[in-house]
């Protein structure tokens, strides 16, 4: 590694940690009287290649809680109040670390990098040089390869009861990506029941970066059989259609007059089985929306459950939003929290992002990060009741 860059990284990380004076205590159960609880932290205590894995619980003044493991930076549980003031765990996940390490596990709650979503044939060219990535999704690369950020042990520091800082150093050549990349992600659960995720990264060589989180939500409560009864609004005029391998064609098509139009809140299940080729390719919704927004943090989507009254707003600085309707969940996996299974379309994902395959699509916003630049973006999942 370049000595100058190493020195810069040490200074950069030190600056991140100046405000970090908290401890690393693990979490416990939900408040007495709550309908659900956080998984036992003992199931997440391990040592992987010399790095300690733990479960960290953040809690705000209203009693909402989020549990995060530094294995993959995964959101394990997220407890928020419903219309009856009972807590619901609205994120799918497992009760122990071992389950998250299974081959084919669907990225439950994970931090995704270096590049969220797909890159066609796992190839791109940058500064005149071609790079070949790991092909872990048929002929394409998905979510960073076989051992992306979702399977790495992050350095964790619990800043205070509401804030967790995670750091990871991705070496030059890891999974085929160029450049040493220093990444920081901060989870913060504030008293407005907002889960704020702040991403920061620097590199010593030009590379591509597209970070996101892959939480699977069900506002009826994790383990409920469906999300097709949820109302969804996405504030977007267009989306990026895909080919049969779910790689964008490079076009931006209007959502108006199609099953992809959620500008008015609509039941997720209303048009999900329409005779539409794009829906057939994704076996439902698994598409990137071109958000109707300017620069800065703005609300881009709202989801609500008529059953529980829980409302989730999504705010982001990113230009895109991947809406995935849980089409590849099967219910065959019986080791969900409380031995629950997670059947077909029992969760949705709203992944804030730059566009899939942007390194190969000149018309899409660039995802290139160069030395001297700082990658910074913020996403908020805000919960309320109606």
Prediction pTM value: 0.91
Give the pLDDT band (50/70/90) at residue 45.
very high
Q: Identify the pLDDT of residue 2.
A: 55
Q: What is the mean pLDDT of residues 137-157?
A: 97
Instruction: Lowest mean pLDDT of 11-25, 118-132, 246-260, name the range.
Output: 11-25
The predicted structure's pLDDT at residue 333: 79
What pLDDT shows up at residue 18? Answer: 38
- Partners of 66 in beta bridges: 58, 78
- What rounded mean pLDDT belongs to the chain? 92
Judged against a pLDDT cut of 50, whether residue 20 lies above it is answered with: no
What band does 26 get if pLDDT is binned at 50, 70 and 90? very low
**pLDDT value at 182 more than 60:** yes
Marked catalytic residue, from 95, 165, 318, 351: 351
Residue 111 near residue 75, CB atoms below 8 Å: no
Marked catalytic residue, from 95, 174, 188, 214: 214
pLDDT digits (tens, 9 = 90+) for 65-95: 999 999 999 999 999 999 999 999 999 999 9
pLDDT at 15 > cutoff 80: no
Q: Does 214 qualify as catalytic in the annotation?
A: yes
pLDDT for 140? 98
Provide the pLDDT for residue 11.
Answer: 44
Q: How far is CA 337 from the centre of its chain?
A: 19
Q: Which residues pair with 79 in a beta bridge?
A: 65, 89
**Domains defined for the chain, CATH in brackets:** 3-216 (2.70.98.10), 231-371 (2.70.98.10)
- The predicted pLDDT at position 28 comes to 36
Give the Å distances, CA to CA, from 150 to 107, 110, 130, 203: 7, 5, 25, 19
Lowest mean pLDDT among 11-20, 157-166, 273-282: 11-20
Q: Is 188 a catalytic residue?
A: no
Lowest mean pLDDT among 267-276, 321-330, 333-342, 374-383: 333-342
Give me 53's structure tokens. Answer: 């894995």
pLDDT exceeding 90 applies to what percent of the chain? Answer: 88
User: Would the pLDDT of 190 be above 90?
Assistant: yes
CB 20 within 8 A of CB 165: yes
- Identify the band that residue 3 occupies on the pLDDT scale cut at 50, 70 and 90: low
- Give the count of alpha carbons within 13 A of 270, CB side only: 14
Asked if 352 and 297 count as a contact pair (C-beta separation under 8 A), the reply is no
Residue in 236, 186, 176, 190 with CA at minimum distance from that of residue 211 = 186
Give the range among 13-22, 29-38, 44-53, 315-324 with minimum mean pLDDT: 13-22
Averaged pLDDT, 230-254: 98
Number of helical (H) and strand (E) elements in the chain, helices listed first: 3, 28
What value does the mean pLDDT take over residues 215-229? 97
* Bridge partner list, 155: 167
29-33, 52-56, 290-294, range with greatest mean pLDDT: 52-56
- CA 68, CA 33: separation in Å to the nearest integer? 22
- The pLDDT value given to residue 115: 98
Residue 14 in this model has a pLDDT that exceeds 50: no
């Amino acid at each position: 590694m370049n000595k100058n860059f190493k020195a810069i990284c040490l200074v950069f990380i030190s600056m991140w940690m100046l405000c970090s004076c908290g401890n690393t205590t693990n979490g416990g159960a939900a408040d007495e009287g709550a309908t659900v609880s956080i998984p036992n932290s003992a199931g997440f205590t391990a040592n992987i290649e010399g790095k300690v894995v733990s479960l960290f619980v953040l809690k705000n003044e209203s009693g909402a809680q989020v549990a995060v493991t530094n294995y993959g930076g995964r959101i394990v549980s997220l407890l928020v109040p419903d219309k009856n003031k009972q807590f619901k765990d609205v994120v799918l996940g497992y009760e122990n670390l071992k389950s998250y390490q299974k081959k084919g596990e669907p990225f439950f709650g994970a931090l995704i990098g270096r590049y969220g979503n797909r890159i066609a044939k796992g190839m791109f060219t940058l500064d005149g040089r071609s790079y070949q990535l790991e092909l872990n999704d048929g002929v394409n690369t998905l979510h960073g390869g076989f051992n992306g950020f979702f399977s790495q042990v992050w350095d964790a520091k619990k800043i205070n009861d509401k804030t967790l800082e995670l750091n990871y150093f991705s070496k030059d050549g890891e999974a085929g990506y160029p450049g040493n990349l220093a990444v920081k992600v901060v989870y913060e659960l504030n008293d407005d029941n907002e889960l704020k995720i702040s991403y920061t990264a620097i590199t010593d060589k030009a590379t591509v970066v597209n970070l996101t989180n892959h939480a699977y939500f069900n506002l009826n409560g994790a383990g409920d059989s469906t999300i097709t009864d949820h109302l969804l609004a996405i504030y977007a005029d267009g989306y990026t259609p895909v080919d049969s391998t779910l790689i964008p064609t490079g076009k931006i098509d209007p959502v108006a007059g199609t099953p992809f139009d959620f500008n008015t809140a609509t039941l997720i299940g209303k048009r999900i089985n329409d005779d539409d080729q794009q829906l057939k390719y994704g076996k439902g919704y698994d598409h990137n929306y071109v958000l109707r927004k300017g620069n800065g943090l703005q609300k881009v989507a709202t989801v609500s459950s008529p059953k529980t009254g829980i409302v989730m707003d999504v705010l982001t600085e990113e230009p895109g939003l991947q809406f995935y309707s849980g089409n590849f969940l099967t219910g065959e996996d019986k080791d969900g929290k409380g031995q629950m299974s997670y059947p077909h379309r029992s969760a949705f994902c709203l992944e804030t992002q730059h566009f899939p395959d942007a390194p190969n699509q000149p018309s899409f916003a660039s995802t290139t990060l160069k030395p001297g630049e700082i990658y910074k973006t913020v996403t908020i999942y805000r919960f309320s009741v109606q």
